[in-house]
Structure 1
Amino acid sequence: MRDAEDGMDSWERLIKLDPEREHKEAMLDQVCKAQVDALVLGGTWGVTARNATDLALALRARKVRRPIWQEVSSECGIAFGVDGYLFPIVLNALDVDVLTRNYVRSLRSYRAVIPWNRCEAIGYIVMNDACAVAKRSRAEIPRDLEDVLAYAAYGTRLCGMKTLYLEYSGKFGDARVPQEVKRAFPHIHLVYGGGIESLEQLNCMKRFADTVVVGNALYEKGLSWLNASTCTM
């Protein structure tokens, strides 16, 4: 079991829950049973302090011992009751101010109380032009692998980011992409997210990515394939 203060570099598998979506009791029970290292609360649209905090408290009520972190996407959506905060920076965004403005506004209000030792900035490379974050940030999707590697170099070498996130959100990506990114940048913590709906797909991406994210499958197909026979909260 992971300690609540462990950061992303210690997580191999995580579930991302969208605070704006409906979470039935049975769904939260499945989340509790899932064999993952952490739970992350995050969404592109409609995240508020209230719905994010309510979701965190609903998980806490089940005595979940896994780390619960929030991926921040809105200046009015900072959750309470979480163990830490992730701040995504979309490296291939054309509208670079979208998240930056939100972060600055958030920091005006919360800078003094944010636990900075439990905050992480993550360089996102958005790979699917149909996903919500691509539309919100007007992401310019990489044309080829060299584009991906250039964005990775920008994030890690120029900006000093320790974590890169390949965001396919809603679509299963080409395993050669994380393979080549990890080969070129073995020192970084590489995260893959998008289209994971089976243990086979998860294991495929886990061969190259340090962390694999399960998201939409929770809402569309459930997590019976990820769950053990008993809850290990």
Structure 2
Amino acid sequence: MQPVIFHRWRHAFKLDPDKELSDDALEAICMSGTDAVIVGGSSGITYDNTVDLLSRIRRYEVPCALEVSSEDAAVPGFDHYFIPLVLNTRSAEWMAGRQIQALRKFGSFIPWEDTSAEGYLILNPESEAARVTDARTQHDAESIAAHVFMADRLMRLPVVYLEYSGTFGDMGLVKRARSLLTGARLFYGGGIDSAEKAREAAGAADTVIVGNAVYDCLEAALLTVQAVQAVQLN
């Protein structure tokens, strides 16, 4: 049974502990009306910078989740925890390597009722995420469908995350991926730097994640909240 915390999320901001964000900017994000803030990143994540960001976010009432991409970021106190499994990695390390290592160390301390696996499909070959995880990023519609079937129907993962990380993806492929899901929720992230792109993504995915725009153009990032929440999914 899926945890209910992210069932109704339509919009979320993703904040990187390794990037600078002013108090004013963080307040604007947390008070924007977004459904959640997700803390996570591809590199430079430490216990200290994760704790620092969490303590700043906790001044506000917005739900806050942690994407645990490193043992160093295993910080208590979040509302929910996402454990990424990179579906299109060339390395077992990112599918069942680091995860097993962490479970051996922290398994008895994990709040399982507040923890969910994410099936990641990384689709931008130029992204840091693709480089770090050694992801096979070139996929046609049928290949993406096969990965979705594996995550949703074989592995029964609660979240499938299509990550274009820095570039705006093919919304036709995203929409088709969502139509194939029977239990998982489809997260989409990548290249959303305007209300127009946010609306387009909101018509294709269950949950739209806005990350880089927060640091590149905060004003545009804030406009994505209402743009996404105004779109009704079929």
Aligned with 1:15: secondary structure? strand
Structure having the larger proportion of residues in helix: 2
Question: After the TM superposition, which parts of structure 1 deviate over 6 Å for at least 4 consecutive aligned residues?
Answer: none
Q: Aligned pair 1:100/2:96, yes or no? A: yes
User: CA separation of 1:99/1:207 partners in 2, compared to 1, >3 Å: closer, same or farther?
Assistant: same
Which one of 49, 52, 73 corresponds to residue 50 of structure 2? 52
Q: Which residue is 1:141 aligned to? A: 137
Per-residue CA deviation, residues 146-181 of structure 1 (Å, 9 max, x unaligned), is: 111011111112212122111001001111011111
Which one of 210, 215, 218 corresponds to residue 214 of structure 2? 218
Deviation at 1:192, TM superposition (A): 0.6
Q: Aligned pair 1:185/2:175, yes or no? A: no
2:40 alignment partner AA: G
Distance in 1 of aligned mates of 2:94 and 2:105: 18
| % identity of equivalent residues | 33
Per-residue CA deviation, residues 50-109 of structure 1 (Å, 9 max, x unaligned), is: 11111000111x2x2121110001112212221121011110000121363332232233
Per-residue CA deviation, residues 98-143 of structure 1 (Å, 9 max, x unaligned), is: 3633322322332222110000001111110111111111111133
2:45 alignment partner AA: V
- Bigger relative contact order, structure 1 or 2, given CA contacts below 8 A and separation 6+? 1
RMSD: 1.7
Q: Which residue is 1:83 aligned to? A: 79
What TM-score do you get using the length of structure 1 for normalisation?
A: 0.89
Q: Which residue is 1:34 aligned to? A: 32
Q: Point out where structure 2 has 5 or more consecutive residues left out of the alignment.
A: 227-234
Q: Aligned pair 1:73/2:69, yes or no? A: yes
User: CA separation of 1:143/1:106 partners in 2, compared to 1, >3 Å: closer, same or farther?
Assistant: closer
Distance in 2 of aligned mates of 1:31 and 1:217: 11
**Corresponding residue pairs, total:** 222
Q: Point out where structure 1 has 5 or more consecutive residues left out of the alignment.
A: 229-233
Which one of 125, 128, 142 corresponds to residue 129 of structure 1? 125
Aligned residue runs from structure 1 range 142-161, under 5 A: 142-161=138-157
